[in-house]
Amino acid sequence: MNTKIKIVSGLSAVLAVMWIGQPLDALAARKSKPVDLSNPDELFKVQIKASCSTVSGKPTLYWWSGHMYSRVPGEKDTLLFNVHGMNTRRCEIKTDPKKGLCYRSVSREVMFYLDPVTNEVLRNWKNPWTGETVPVIQVANDPVNLQPTQRFFCARDEEGKPVTRDGMFVKDDVVLEGGGAARLFYKNPLAGDYQDYVGGTYHAMEFGSTAIPLASAQNANITEFSDSVISWGRVSRWIPWMKMGDREGLVIFHTAGMRLDNFGQLPDVVRREIETNYPQYREPPPLDDARPNETSWTVFKKYIDAKRAADGPAK
Amino acid sequence: MQIQVYLSRAGAALLLGISLLAAPVGLAARADNQPLDARVPEDALQMTRKMICSLEDGKPIIHWWKGTMLSRVPGERDRVLFNVQGMNIRQCGTFSDPKKGPGFRSVSREVMLYLDPATDQVLRKWKNPWTGEELNVVHVANDPVNMRGPMFAHNDQGKAHEFGGMFVKDKVWTSGEAPLFYDNPMAGDYQDLVGNKYQAIEMLNSFTDAKWLLNRKQKTLPTVTISWARVSDWIPWMKMAGRPGLVVFTTVGKRVATIDELSEPLRSEIRNTYPLYLAPPPLDDARPNETSWTYIKKMVDAQRAAAK
């Protein structure tokens, strides 16, 4: 850990505490020159402030809400659930003599499926295609970390050249990021050993965007943004607990959200569910967390394997 | 981005943190220096209108976005087919109805270009990787994309207009989806029986600051950022016929003040090839809406007629 960064971070942490409930941004901004965002090192710092915080280990929180639809050929896309999600994350920050500022993130994530009429967390769901009532397995992924543990994102490469990140750009009075997608296509943990031959591969696309006010991005005293807004969407195969088997169709998620300052700002329905059933999700994992990541597919596999073991051999 | 036409989904405003909606109810709330009150139908309508266009009649509002279009085919990794850059230019006009109260309607034109994902150049030809056929690229140029009718403070049944936005901290946003499922203009007369319906979902988020939205004197929002996405069937000019698969658009963007602020090559392409799209259609525009499907149908029909 570079000493200089430590000192800057410590000062910023003090400022961050002062800001709670006080509009001191303007005052703070006047004290220092606006950050030059054409400098790739500075833009990289903006990315860290949007993802987590430049203060190593400081917990941050994103929340989003929206809808999940079905897509079945020949049927109008149908609203199945309201969804509310939350990710709590912290980053280990370090500096490398060649690569500059580096970070690794660790996080926990929940997303709840809510009744689209009552907006209550669903415990059971009647599948309209199969007629079967199935237990709803909420998204609860612990951890969702940058893997492996020794992997850090850095501002520069081994030769000290800035790493090109075409995702983030300044437009007028905002910094925007998005318009791309993570194309996920890998071995499905719930499918068999011959997926290249018979199919069943995990197949999903995730897309998101972020918008940060330029004034915040240019403020050197801010260590993590509190006013960044996000969009998140996803197109994937049926969620395993829906028990759709090989039936044709997909699910589509579409949500909007933003950075929250603390757990208490979450909507009641989300906060209550976390406090009652997912208390460890109030905090991100420790910085040295070395566990493999969880996804809805791996979580469900553990659930169904445990259930099968308890129920005895399948009939 | 036709979604704004459909964004009437009732959504109760969810209040988080400091509520900026805590304005006094009653006549006093209507004064110029009082914030708009979402519980007053006329105010709620103004909030909806500000998210879509401007309170000022005839003021051109430009939304710009950029991103990618990807394929999704069962059994293969999704592919980035194109970068895209698009814009919608619109204006709103005021209406009034003795029963339904004040209203507004937006009229617009829309362009979206398919760009080479490596060079960002406007694509003229594209080799379809599944069929091997080289095709002419038909860019999106929809004139018009209008609200079919005005939206009023009260609807036909007398129900008060609700602002469907969400207030969180000092931000406010609208987030919605429009699942589209209707007769495909390029398919036959028995689609309920044999299929081939037009099937798509449009998704849009629009974000701004609550202080601007609620300020009665702020006719036009100074900053709106957007995220637009879409999942639909293959675009007709791709000539995928009935092959399984679909396309996904994912983009990010914002309102811009003038055409000059559009990104390249969109700005030059509009000036050179689509000059009509430098301005919105007239407020009394009564033409039916254009979509990529109706546009390409006309083009194919004209080509077929010329070939005879």
Per residue in A10-32, pLDDT tens?
333 333 333 333 344 445 545 67
Contact B104, B45 (CB under 8 A): yes
Q: What is the pLDDT of residues B197-225, one digit of tens each?
A: 999 999 999 999 999 999 999 999 999 99
Residue B266's H or E segment, with its range, is: helix B266-273
> Could you tell me if B170 lies within 8 Å of chain A, comparing CB atoms?
yes
CA of A230 to nearest chain B CA: how many angstroms apart?
A: 9
Q: Is the pLDDT of residue A145 over 70?
A: yes
Checking if the pLDDT of B2 tops 90, the result is no
Reported ipTM: the value is: 0.90
Instruction: Say if pTM beats, i.e. exceeds, 0.80.
Output: yes
DSSP state of B145: -
In a mutational test of the B interface, the residue from A195, A207, A212 whose CB has the highest number of chain B CBs within 10 Å is A207
The closest CB to that of A66, out of B175, B225, B251, belongs to B175
Q: How far apart are CA B61 and CA A11, in angstroms?
A: 43
Residues 6+ apart with CB under 8 A from B64: B85, B86, B87, B253, B254, B255, B256, B261, B262, B263, B266
C-alpha to C-alpha distance for A11 and A5, rounded to whole angstroms? 10
Q: What is the pLDDT of residue B24?
A: 38
Cβ of residue A227 closer than 8 Å to a chain B Cβ: yes
Tell if the CB–CB gap between A185 and B225 is shorter than 8 Å. Answer: no
d(CA B93, CA B109): 15
Enumerate residues 203 to 222 of chain A having a beta carbon within 8 A of any beta carbon in chain B. 203, 205, 207, 209, 211, 213
In chain B, residues 2-31 whose CB comes closer than 8 Å to chain A: 14, 16-17
Residue B168 contacts A where some CB pair is shorter than 8 Å = yes
Contact (CB<8Å) B225/A203: no
Q: What are residue A62's DSSP bridge partners?
A: A87, A259
Q: What is the pLDDT of residues A185-228, one digit of tens each?
A: 999 999 999 999 999 999 999 999 999 999 999 999 999 999 99
- For residue A166, the model assigns a pLDDT of 66
Cross-chain residue pair B229–A183, CB shorter than 8 Å = no
Residues 144-203 of A with CB under 8 A from B: 171-174, 176-181, 183, 185, 199, 201, 203
Q: Which chain B residue shows the shortest CA-CA distance from A197?
A: B75
* B287/B308 Cα distance (integer angstroms): 29
The candidate with the shortest Cα–Cα distance to B14, out of A79, A176, A208, A114, is A114
CA angle A144, A236, B227 (to 5 degrees): 80
Pairing label, strands B15-16, B166-168: parallel
pLDDT bucket at B32, cuts 50 / 70 / 90: confident
CB contact under 8 Å between B75 and A73, yes or no, is: no
Identity of the residue in B76, B205, B256 whose CB atom sits nearest the CB atom of A256? B205
Q: Which residue of A has its CA nearest to B201?
A: A77
Note whether A233 contacts B229, CB cutoff 8 Å: yes
A28 touches chain B (CB under 8 A): no
- Contact of B67 with chain A, judged by CB distance below 8 Å, is answered with yes
What was the pLDDT predicted at B254? 98
**What is the model's pLDDT at position B79?**
98
Give dist(CA A115, CA A113) in Å, integer: 7
For chain B positions 91-150, those within 8 Å of chain A (CB to CB) are none
Pair B17, B192: CB distance under 8 Å = no
pLDDT tens digits along B82-130:
999 999 999 999 999 999 999 999 999 999 999 999 999 999 999 999 9
Average pLDDT value for chain A: 89
